[in-house]
Every structure is written in C-alpha cells, then in structure tokens.
Amino acid sequence: PGRMSRYTHTCVLRLLLVCVAASSSGSVRVSAPRAVSPLEATSRERGISPLLGWLDRRLARWRRRNRPKRIILVRHGESIGNVNSSAYSSTPDSQISLTERGFEQGTACGREIRRLVGNGSVRFYYSPYLRVRQTLLAILQAFEGQPVEIASEPRLREQDFGNFQDPLSMSRLREDRMKFGRFFFRFPNGEAGTDVFDRVSDFISTLFAHFDSGERRRTADNCVLMTHGLLMRIFSMCYFHWTVSEFEQVWNPSNCEIWVLEKV
C-alpha cells in the first residue's frame, strides 16, 4: 500500500474524532453537513496538515515493524530438464523431477538458509511444481526440530511454455524470443513474460496485504519464496521497479542460488 491521499487522511481523522467523541459521551450526534467556503476549507486543511503528517509517520513505522526481516528467493535444484531438454517432450513441465545432484544442492541450500535465519521464524511459499517441492523437502532437513510454516503458491510456478515441448521447435522459438524481446515474446499455447509479471505483481500485493494486516503474530521473521529462475527475476523487476531493458540485462540464477532482501 502506498501513501494515503490527503482526502483519505481527512476521512480517517474525522472518523477518529467521532470515535473519541462517542467513547467519551456514550453517544454521538450526526448533523447534516454544512456548506463551507473555499477560504474556510483551505484554513481547515492547513490546521490539520501537521496531524496528517504525524499519522503518515506513525503508519510508516507500524508497517515497518510488521514486515519480515528478510525475503529470501530460492531457485529449485538441478532438474532432469536442466540436463536433458528432451524430457519436456514426454513429461509435463510440472512433473519434471530433480536429479541426484539437485537433491544434494537442496540439502546444502537448506544448511545455508538455516545459518542465515538462525532460530528466527520462517514461512515458506513454494511453487507446486515437483522439482520445487522436492527442493523444499531437501531444504527442510536443516530445520528438523524447528517449527516452520509452508504454503503452496501457484502464482510462483514456472512460465508456461505450452504443454509438451518438442526440442527442435523450442530451439527455434527461443531464437525468435531473442529477436522479439524476452519479456514480450509469447510462447504458443503458453505465457509471455508480461503474463508472469501480472501474476507475480498480484502475489506481491497479497503478500504485503498479509504483512500489513495488523496481525503481527502471523508475520514470520523470514519469508522464503521457493520458485524458478524467471520468477526470481520477475519478482525483482516488480519489487525494485526495473524497466524492461533492465530486466532483459539479467539472466537466470544458478540452481539453488539464494537472493536475500534484508530489512535495514
């Protein structure tokens, strides 16, 4: 949520004053609104401006206090599709599993995350794709004996490339994507980067609505997003307000690479 408008601030202030009046007298009388001159309205605006500024500062401090210490982005471990692209021609993308090396990467990644967060509370949001769920299971070995929260989040899934993927066709499509622009190119029967941007933006709105809901006990100290390479870049694009040209200068992280956004 951004800065409240002055009109909204005025409405909130009036509501607060009505509540105070009601609590002190036991009742409140609401009279019909009285027309005021522009000069009188300007005078009133100047009179409450300091109070509106105070409300702004209090709201900013309250939001900061409610938000997690860290948002940690993690790509899944090495998958069969990473070492053999023909796997996508017979196995749905959502069912591509990790290699043995991918499981080892997940275990090492879990130790690194545990070292980073210590005994702080952790909430994991994960893509429902098999390779991400397997990576999460490997990571959770490092949290044995420590309670954590986990939540499946379909908006963190991989970009949809269009059902089963023929290797030769995909090779040509990726060449076309480089010519057309990686962000705007749409795969047949699949998504463009713009579609992924839309769902990630929606997820971020949901995430911060949760942080700012006022239920502090429900906000973990560490928020870990288990996802895919493109999703990590798109999340950063949304969060840091990258331009399209800035986004297209960034490439996918390595398997089980960790990006940490830390509150300072």
Enumerate the active-site residues.
76, 158
* Residue 178: alpha-carbon gap to chain centroid: 27
Sheet holding 70-75, edge to edge: 149-152, 122-126, 222-227, 70-75, 258-262
CA distance 208 to 200: 12
Give every CB contact of residue 44 below 8 A, 6+ residues apart in sequence: 36
CA distance 47 to 36: 15
User: How many other CB atoms sit within 10 Å of the CB of residue 189?
Assistant: 10
* Residue 69: alpha-carbon gap to chain centroid: 14
User: How many other CB atoms sit within 10 Å of the CB of residue 65?
Assistant: 9
